[in-house]
Structure 1
Amino acid sequence: MTLQLVTLYLLGINIITLAAYGIDKWKARHHQWRISEVVLLFLAFIGGAMGAFLGMRLFHHKTQHWKFRILVPLLLILQIAALVYCRS
């Protein structure tokens, strides 16, 4: 049961994070109100690092910002390591 909840949470937060990156890119192109960098990084921090990484690659968004180029892959590695550790 717990593994199912964690899996559902991670799936949901990564979908939300990927969508947030896509929406922010769209808003940037249309000169509209943007999602703050703090929110985008927070979504990655709380489990959405894979969605953030995919969003950076798919939408070519935030790829020139050092905070994102360093923190998102680092968070992804840490989250994968935590999953592997918890599974063993």
Structure 2
Amino acid sequence: MSIPLWQVVAVIVVFSSIITFVLYRTDKRAAVARQSRVSERTLLVWGLLGGWPGGLIAQRVFHHKTRKTTFQLRFWATVFFDIAAVLIFVPLPFFPGSSA
């Protein structure tokens, strides 16, 4: 019995989102305390690895990284890339003609 790829991707997204959410929280707390920060690259890479939903939620909850235009452009590029990759490479059971 094999697990469908879309379920594997869903699990990866959930775990990556949790990690990304925690990283945003850690960075926000460090920013307020003027301590060592989590790099933007780290936040974006975790978003690219499927954690962008957690990053998006964290941005709204912590009001963090929402006004920095260059970061937001890169963040939304990772969201677009992730969604495009899933639509292209992962057979989804709720799309007609999909073999999930």
Partner of 2:47: 44
Distance (whole Å) between structure 2 residues aligned to residue 68 and residue 51 of structure 1: 16
Asked if the contact 2:20/2:47 (under 8 Å) is kept, the reply is yes
- TM-score when scaled to structure 2? 0.75
Partner of 1:10: 13
Please list every run of 5 or more consecutive structure 1 residues that lacks an aligned counterpart in the other structure.
none
Looking at CA atoms only, which structure, 1 or 2, has the larger radius of gyration? 2
Asked if the contact 2:21/2:54 (under 8 Å) is kept, the reply is yes
Alignment counterpart, residue 60 of structure 2, candidates 53, 57, 65: 57
Q: CA deviation at 1:78?
A: 3.3
Q: CA deviation at 1:47?
A: 1.2
Q: Which has the higher helix share?
A: 1
Query: Which structure 1 residue ranges, 4+ long, deviate > 6 Å from structure 2?
Result: none
Identity, % of aligned positions: 33
- TM-score when scaled to structure 1? 0.83
Count, aligned residues: 88
